[in-house]
């Protein structure tokens, strides 16, 4: 098997917690370098700038971009212009149009571009998709409620324009929904709660519509302390499908389809998919979860709520 | 020449001021019916419901949808399901995803779908596009400032979610920009001013970026009384191109390319284009202006400003 020398650019929490261990477990990749202004991994060559890394390491042929979405486009263009294959953490960018621009640029340069949605690799997602494929979907309900202070300590970028606020986790639910539902949906109504001192919402409630009068209700909230909730329920003509724990567990019509596995396996599946795409020289860019978020912002009724302090 | 029997659904100001006269001047269309809950045209059969019109008038093979964007999707689906060709007033819908859904549905049904951008048919636009095609663009500046009270008297839907607020005119500028610029752009920063009592913005300032370090600044404002401004300036390596009066006039490097024509000619061109698409059985759906608006909402820093009263 060819081993791809890969760099990680943007070396924050998600890079350390997920990308490094999954790359270490993969036969297809070797972590060759990191790019970050202020963080590094023990024993791995570290660069402060992606241009320096590209110049110094011609053996590196791929890069995983894990910085906040507001900065992703610049790094992606630099990487693609240098002929590197690119893996984008979610969300793939701060705007829908920039992801389309990247897709065109990657195609023109012959680079593989993989816009990842890690939640689609949760253990229960493919089983849920297969089960729903032959059923008639009536409605769905997403409940995605977590404690922002626990999951995003001190991460100011999530509250800045382009950081998406509660849609940073919520887009994971939308990436699962768009993967498992047999019909496409679109946002018809949205209510967003913005803390008085922040640019992005702390809570969002969406209604979506799909062909065949499918109605989806989504409830995203970042103020839930105690037990955390990442559930999707889909009502069908033959019973209810329940994905829980962010997609790790799934039961349908009262029968368990898949029981929980460790969350880190999402990224093992993700890197396995990247290896598959590289072998075929194919890109995979599904921008639909980000389109739904942009649509929700465009369609939203805004509610101002209590200031948020870390 | 085949004459297409066309209905207009949504019979408000834009239908009366623009669609009816342009259809009357066209050899390719005959206005066969209107669909509206409370408005009608003298001498034209009127229906309160699109299903009734479809049932009563099998000779009608096309429909122009001119209602506010929030209601457009339902009418479009009903029309396409009945096999009608569909012309969508701008914006083509209240969400990006619904327009993509319509595009798929129209293709599956073999219907022509034309998502119109009337400003692209302004007299100076094609000359501007041709002139820019061989120049290197450095930057552009959009100034789109008008008096909402004059242009949208009593139109509450523009202030409701999905009504787009100042992007209702602003998207006209974006439809021209995306037509004439030789490089694609995307929104990188946005500042939106929302009246305290309204769901949509009264002013917006955007920054956009395009390959080759093209920077676009856009200034949309609905509070300009007195002379109205609908200008786009594009700086190039060989001088400045200036589109004014909403695209009706254009000069480049100090030379006038096109002098003003009546605004109504936009819709003559638009219906001529629809006839061309019908003859070829081709759809034309460019969602990019709406993507930029959705991106702007998603990326925006919000500013609350004075309440707006009609």
Predicted TM-score (pTM) above 0.90: yes
Average pLDDT of every residue of chain B: 95
Q: How far apart are CA A34 and CA A41, in angstroms?
A: 7
- Among residues B128, B59, B153, B118, the alpha carbon closest in space to that of B263 is found at B118
Closest-CA distance of chain B to residue A70, Å: 8
Enumerate domains of chain B plus CATH numbers: 4-115 (3.40.50.720), 120-256+294-305 (3.30.360.10)
- Among residues A249, A250, A225, A254, the alpha carbon closest in space to that of A239 is found at A254
**Residue A107 annotated as catalytic:** no
pLDDT tens profile B18-31: 999 999 999 999 99
Q: In the prediction, which pLDDT does A261 show?
A: 54
> Is pLDDT of A177 > 60?
yes
The answer to whether B65 and B75 are in contact (CB under 8 A) is yes
pLDDT tens profile B237-295: 999 999 999 999 999 999 998 765 544 489 999 999 999 999 999 999 999 999 999 99
Of the partner residues A97, A164, A190, the one whose CB lies closest to the CB of residue B292: A97
pLDDT tens profile B33-47: 999 998 999 999 999
Complex ipTM more than 0.85, yes or no: yes
Q: Sign of the CA dihedral B223, B15, B64, B266? A: negative
Give B299's contacts in chain A (Cβ within 8 Å): 94-95, 161-162
Q: In the prediction, which pLDDT does B6 show?
A: 98
Contacts 24+ apart (CB under 8 A), B267-270: B267/B18, B267/B19, B267/B21, B267/B22, B267/B118, B267/B121, B268/B22, B268/B25, B268/B26, B268/B121, B269/B121, B270/B22, B270/B116, B270/B118, B270/B121
Q: What is the DSSP string of B182-214?
A: SS-EEEEEEEEEEETT-SS-SEEEEEEEETTTE
- Among residues B75, B70, B253, the alpha carbon closest in space to that of B163 is found at B70
Contact A189 B300 (CB under 8 A): no
Q: How far apart are CA B191 and CA A14, in angstroms?
A: 30
Best A69, A77, A95, A293 residue to mutate vs chain B (most B CBs within 10 Å): A95
Query: Is B299 near chain A, with CB under 8 Å?
Result: yes
pLDDT tens profile A24-35: 999 999 999 999
Query: Is A189 near chain B, with CB under 8 Å?
Result: yes
Tokens 């039961």 found at: A251
């Amino acid at each position: 098997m060819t081993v791809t020398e890969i760099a990680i650019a943007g070396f924050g929490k998600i890079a350390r917690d997920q990308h490094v261990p999954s790359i270490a477990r993969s036969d297809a990749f070797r972590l060759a370098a990191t790019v970050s202004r202020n963080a590094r991994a023990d024993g791995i060559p570290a660069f402060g700038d992606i241009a320096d890394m590209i110049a110094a390491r011609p053996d590196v042929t791929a890069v995983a971009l894990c910085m906040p979405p507001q900065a992703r486009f610049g790094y992606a263009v630099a990487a693609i212009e240098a002929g590197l294959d690119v893996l984008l953490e979610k969300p793939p960018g701060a705007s829908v149009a920039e992801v389309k621009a990247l897709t065109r640029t990657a195609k023109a340069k012959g680079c593989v571009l993989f816009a990842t949605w890690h939640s689609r690799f949760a253990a229960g997602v493919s089983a849920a998709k297969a089960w729903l494929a032959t059923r008639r979907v009536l409605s769905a309900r997403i409940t995605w409620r977590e404690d922002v202070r626990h999951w995003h300590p001190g991460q100011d970028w999530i509250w800045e324009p382009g950081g998406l606020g509660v849609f940073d986790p919520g887009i994971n639910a939308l990436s699962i929904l768009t993967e498992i539902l047999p019909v496409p949906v679109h946002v018809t109504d949205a209510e967003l709660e913005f803390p008085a001192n922040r640019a992005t919402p702390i809570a969002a409630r969406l209604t979506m519509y799909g062909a065949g009068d499918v109605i989806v209700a989504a409830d995203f909230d970042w103020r839930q302390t105690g037990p955390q909730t990442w559930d999707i329920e889909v009502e069908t003509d033959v019973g209810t499908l329940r994905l829980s724990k962010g997609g790790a567990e799934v039961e349908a019509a009262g029968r368990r389809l898949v029981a929980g596995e460790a969350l880190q396996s999402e990224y093992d599946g993700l890197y396995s998919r990247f290896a598959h795409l590289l072998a075929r020289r194919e890109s995979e860019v599904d921008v639909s979860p980000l389109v739904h978020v942009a649509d929700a912002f465009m369609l939203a009724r805004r509610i101002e709520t209590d200031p948020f302090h870390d």
